[in-house]
């Protein structure tokens, strides 16, 4: 799948905590945000407005999240989606993909707080979703 440009918002909104956007834990990322991203404040939260290449929106988001996690120790937890129950079947780069990304980021943060590892979450998705139509 060819790489395309994707625009998205990433917000650090950890469950159970509310660090201020000017908190020292964001100092390094403020000084050197990931390529294609600029620092922004989203209400009471620290975040980034990004434009990155990727085969899909989720690929682009995952790459930026991995860079931030590795370089700054932060797990970005939010794509700024407020109405998670809304839906759009507009493909791998649209509104529906942003909602799926939001839910996956939330699971990535909250699962480990309950004792689930990444492999547990992957196993859950594989088991619950079953084989994709392309696997049949």
The per-residue pLDDT for 130 is 86
8 Å CB contact between 97 and 86:
no
Q: What is the pLDDT along the chain (136 residues), one digit of tens a residue?
A: 778 899 999 999 988 888 888 889 999 999 999 999 999 988 889 999 999 999 999 999 999 999 999 999 999 999 998 888 888 888 888 889 999 999 999 999 999 999 999 999 999 998 888 876 555 4
Q: Which of these, 12, 8, 7, 10, lies nearest to 109 by C-alpha position?
A: 12
pLDDT reported for residue 133: 56
């Amino acid at each position: 799948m060819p790489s395309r440009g994707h625009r998205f918002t990433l917000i650090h909104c950890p469950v159970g905590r509310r660090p201020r956007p000017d908190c020292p834990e964001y100092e390094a990322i403020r000084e050197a945000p990931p390529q294609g991203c600029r620092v922004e404040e989203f209400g009471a939260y620290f975040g980034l407005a990004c434009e990155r290449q990727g085969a899909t929106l989720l690929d682009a988001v995952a790459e930026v999240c991995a860079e931030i996690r590795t370089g700054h120790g932060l797990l970005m937890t939010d794509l700024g989606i407020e109405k998670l129950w809304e839906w759009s079947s507009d493909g791998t780069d649209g509104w529906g993909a942003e909602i799926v990304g939001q839910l996956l980021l939330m699971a990535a943060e909250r699962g480990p707080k309950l004792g689930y590892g990444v492999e547990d979450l992957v196993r859950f998705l594989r088991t619950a979703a079953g084989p994709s139509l392309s696997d049949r």
